Structure 1
Amino acid sequence: MTEIDSPSGAAAQAPSTLNDIEKQASQSEAPQKKNSTFKNLGLLDQFLAVWIFLAMAIGIILGNFVPSTGPALQRGKFVAVGLLVMMYPILCKVRFESLHHVFKTRQIWIQIAFSIVVNWIIAPFFMLALSWAFLPDEPELRQGLILVGLARCIAMVLIWTGLAGGDNEYCAILVAVNSLLQMVLFAPMGVFFIQVISGDIIAFQYSTAAKSVAVFLGIPLGAAILTRFTLRWATSPRWYDEVFLKWASPWSLIGLLFTILVLFASQGRHVVHQIVSVVRVAAPLIVYFAVIFFLTLLVTYRLGFGYKLAATQSFTAASNNFELAIAVAVATFGADSNQALASTVGPLIEVPVLLGLVYAVKLIAKRLDWKD
């Protein structure tokens, strides 16, 4: 996965404008342009699709043919470990020490405001509309989809952006912003969407949702901030960038694969034995990912965004934090609930669709000669 911090140790010097961010990103990539993007990726990144599908397949096989697997994994501890391992290295790359400089520019606030509108207004309400359009007679599956729509992506989006050649610097800023917003907005918006708008009479408690968000987001975010400031002070920014981040980066994908395996092992029997429900949930998810991605891409293109920023905005809008949605669904409704099943279908659909969109956006950029 493309590094967010440059190895030169210049992380302490924040770019003053978003154009500077783009310039630094392009300069850091310049020596690699002689080779293909695929060859520049690590072994895990090169065969990401293969590893993900293998993790899914192994998880489903374990869940269906090893009876004790599902109940053992549904306790949530394994998912928590996977989430922490996956998100911690990603958040360690965010330049927290320089964000206050970046936020002084008007341009960055325009970009962040655009992202917030798409991520926290348009996308969740569109998922709400799709859940009612496709599942008017299945309130529990509908509630699971609503949770997926509210869980904005802060982990996988960095992987999609890196594979598509987007702006990893700006994506890291969005990760930081969405992490904070998600801890504040997820629980109240869940109550508003499920109990107020949908009118569902269920025990969706604010405290339970808020606790799940605090654990699955607050712990890795706090640990990453502490690690970054402590290690950079105790050693040097150069050592942190070139040694620590190089060692920590692969753990993000390892954590992702472990999380996917655990999720599908714990829900494997439900996925196989409730195939009709899986298909019904998959349909609105496919529509959601495609429409939100291409709509955002079209708007950013019309607004004159460069390719890197447009790709980053589009993947951020279309991606979802399915791990958080599953964690909240399991904690609130139970591991055997239809809400948990609906949220589990999220990665089953999102991973192959978003991988396809990586290739699609690169093809579009090539045909349009879309540059920065």
Structure 2
Amino acid sequence: MSKDKVDMRFFEKYLSVWVAICIVMGIAIGKFLPIIPETLGKFEYANVSIPVAILIWLMIYPMMLKVDFSSILNATKKPKGLAITCTTNWLIKPFTMYLIAFLFFKIVFKVWISDELSDAYLAGAVLLGAAPCTAMVFVWSHLTKGDAAYTVVQVAINDLILLVAFAPIVAFLLGVSNVIVPYDTLLLSVFLFVVIPLVGSYISRKVIISQKGEVYFNDVFLKKFDKTTIAGLLLTLVIIFSFQGKIILENPFHILLIAVPLVIQTFLIFFFAYGWAKLWKLPHNIAAPAAMIGASNFFELAVAVAISLFGLQSGATLATVVGVLVEVPVMLILVNIANKTPNWFRKSTTSSTQR
């Protein structure tokens, strides 16, 4: 076994340790070197952090390189995974989020949270629940060896539904009118996290295979990006937690309270979709990404809507920010679960990521 493979396995084996270190580093930077997040925070457009977007792009690009673009059309002919994703995300997830958040904020945590704050936290949780993931799901799919082409189709269909379903669902659950969807945030995110890496990887794949062949592309070029996804993930954690370091240190108890229903909801949705995929006997490389899309959130959109509806300093905005903070550590736990349970599913006879 090569030294690089040994190093990579060691790195992945202790990933939870590196994640914890990066979280602490991020909080420390936010506390003691606030000039760093303040400077990075200036590079933002439509509530999307450009530095974070670049890191996410670096994480997504290696997965997109594996997409056999001719197989994207074939993915649309396999409706079961798409049915699970869409049903979970739009007919179940927003409503379970509301019920779980209501239970904790209005009943279980009533002693510690005022009625006004509980309403605000509930609103933030609903905004997260109604916004399935667009960007990071590519990372989770990559880490679980998901079918890259099928994941692209799943994300694309969810984004189309998001355009028309997000505002009515939020309005219904929160009893508010005139929910304004920040389409600049939505469209910019789709462009940055789907269009750019997809086009870039298509060009890279086509040029390299035409010049050096498919064997070189698969056995040499792709292996150069083995560490890119995890390195980008850890750097993203440092930046995200540096942005929110002050909030974490000033509101540790309430952040913990907000995190509880969000984490429970994430596990519930993952196992619902994952179990459904098992019952339908889907291959693991489709089941894992299908469960990951619903479990993770489009937090850029949720934060932007919370700010526009309730204000920057509102409890709703704080709740969406907590969603950002818990997402990566919790999703890495689910990635680990998915990677330990491929034997629950039938093996795929064909994979769109092999060529």
TM over 0.5: yes
Aligned residue in 2 for 1:284:
261
Counterparts in 2 of 1:327 and 1:240: CA distance versus 1, 3 Å: farther
- Within the candidate set 58, 73, 79, 1:109 is matched to 79
Counterpart residue type for residue 45 of structure 1: E
Distance 1:331 1:241 in 2: 46
How do residues 71-220 of structure 1 correspond to structure 2 at under 5 angstroms? 71-75=38-42, 76-104=49-77, 108-135=78-105, 137-138=116-117, 139-153=119-133, 156-157=136-137, 168-170=145-147, 172-200=148-176, 204-217=180-193, 218-220=195-197
User: Mind listing any 5+ residue stretches in structure 2 that lack a counterpart?
Assistant: 43-48, 107-115, 348-355
Counterparts in 2 of 1:288 and 1:279: CA distance versus 1, 3 Å: same
Counterparts in 2 of 1:123 and 1:51: CA distance versus 1, 3 Å: same
User: Mind listing any 5+ residue stretches in structure 1 that lack a counterpart?
Assistant: 1-31, 33-37
Percent of matched pairs sharing the same residue = 27
Other structure's SS at 2:227 match: helix
Does 1:272 find its partner at 2:249? yes
Counterpart residue type for residue 148 of structure 1: L
Counterparts in 2 of 1:308 and 1:191: CA distance versus 1, 3 Å: closer
Once the two structures are superposed, residues 303-328 of structure 1 have per-residue CA deviations (whole angstroms, 9 ceiling, x without a partner) of 44566655554344323354665577
Per the TM alignment, residue 360 of structure 1 is displaced from its structure 2 partner at its CA by: 5.2
How do residues 223-372 of structure 1 correspond to structure 2 at under 5 angstroms? 223-305=200-282, 310-322=287-299, 325=302, 338-357=315-334, 372=347
Q: Is the 8 A contact 1:154 1:321 kept in 2?
A: yes
Per the TM alignment, residue 262 of structure 1 is displaced from its structure 2 partner at its CA by: 0.8
Q: Is the 8 A contact 2:64 2:197 kept in 1?
A: yes
Counterparts in 2 of 1:116 and 1:205: CA distance versus 1, 3 Å: closer
Distance 1:327 1:86 in 2: 23
Aligned residue in 2 for 1:25:
none
Distance 2:212 2:307 in 1: 41
Distance 1:281 1:151 in 2: 17
Counterparts in 2 of 1:94 and 1:334: CA distance versus 1, 3 Å: farther
Q: Is the 8 A contact 1:151 1:182 kept in 2?
A: no
Other structure's SS at 2:297 match: coil
Distance 1:181 1:114 in 2: 12
Q: Is the 8 A contact 2:132 2:296 kept in 1?
A: yes
Q: Is the 8 A contact 2:72 2:150 kept in 1?
A: no
Per the TM alignment, residue 73 of structure 1 is displaced from its structure 2 partner at its CA by: 2.7
Counterpart residue type for residue 119 of structure 1: N
TM-score when normalising by structure 1: 0.72
Per the TM alignment, residue 87 of structure 1 is displaced from its structure 2 partner at its CA by: 1.9
Q: Is the 8 A contact 2:132 2:298 kept in 1?
A: yes
Once the two structures are superposed, residues 246-273 of structure 1 have per-residue CA deviations (whole angstroms, 9 ceiling, x without a partner) of 1134222222111111111011111221
Per the TM alignment, residue 154 of structure 1 is displaced from its structure 2 partner at its CA by: 5.5
